[in-house]
Amino acid sequence: MSARFRMCTGLANACQELGFQAEVGYQTFLYSSVKDWRKLLMFLLEKLPKEAAQTADEPTGAGILLTRSIGAEIGASLRAPWTPSYCKRESGSSGLHAFTASDVQAPTGTGDLQKKIPKEVKLYYAQEMPYVVAQPVLTRDVLSSLLAKNDSEVAAQQEWEAEWNQAGLASRLSEN
């Protein structure tokens, strides 16, 4: 215990010699609170020599410059907020492409089982109409084309419902 007392007293004296203004003694190091430790550590960090003073004395060889530039690049990437790689165009994600939608045709009226679909239309849907995945020029545009088609159909349905609910039969829309 006496060795701890001597060590902590020596640390306290060193802190006072550096100019620490708050009360510091052996008890600061043996029995202090988080607040006291934080205050003391912040003071000691401020007393550390600055980076600029150290870099003036160091040699500037090619290897050191490369190491510094790598360190600066890593530091910049660590300071930047994290985003997934597919959200970063500049960091080499080659899988990104523009949202390009082309017009696709899909069978209509097949969702209502009460409605009778003519035999010729069913035959066209089954044998002649190309699959939706084969209609866009580029296969990467299939999803964007389907999303755009669905979006336009939903928007048209919402417009129809808004007009029907607002004007009713006066809008000259049929219920089907």
Q: Which of these ranges, 80-84, 136-140, 170-174, has the smallest mean pLDDT?
A: 170-174
pLDDT score of 176: 54
DSSP H helix total and E strand total for the chain: 7, 0
pLDDT band at 155 (very low <50, low <70, confident <90, very high): very high
Within the chain, strands assigned E span none
Q: What is the pLDDT of residue 26?
A: 78
Percent with pLDDT over 70 in the chain: 84
Interval 64-92: pLDDT, tens: 888 888 889 888 888 888 877 667 666 55
When the pLDDT of each residue in the chain is averaged and rounded to a whole number, the result is 81
CA distances from 2 to 16, 68, 156 (A): 21, 46, 86
**pLDDT score at 110:** 77
The tens digit of pLDDT for each residue in 3-56 reads 888 888 888 888 888 888 888 887 777 787 888 888 888 888 888 887 765 555
Provide the sign of the torsion angle of the four alpha carbons 40, 45, 48, 49, taken in this order.
Answer: negative
- Which tokens sit at 80? 């930047």
C-beta of residue 90 within 8 angstroms of C-beta of residue 112: no
Residue 85: both structure tokens together: 């790689």
pTM comes to: 0.43
pLDDT at position 84: 76
Give the Cα separation of 24 and 14 in Å (integer). Answer: 10
Cα–Cα–Cα angle for 119, 121, 127, rounded to 5 degrees? 100
Q: Phi, psi (5° rounding) for residue 25?
A: -155, -170
Distance CA 141, CA 132 (A): 11
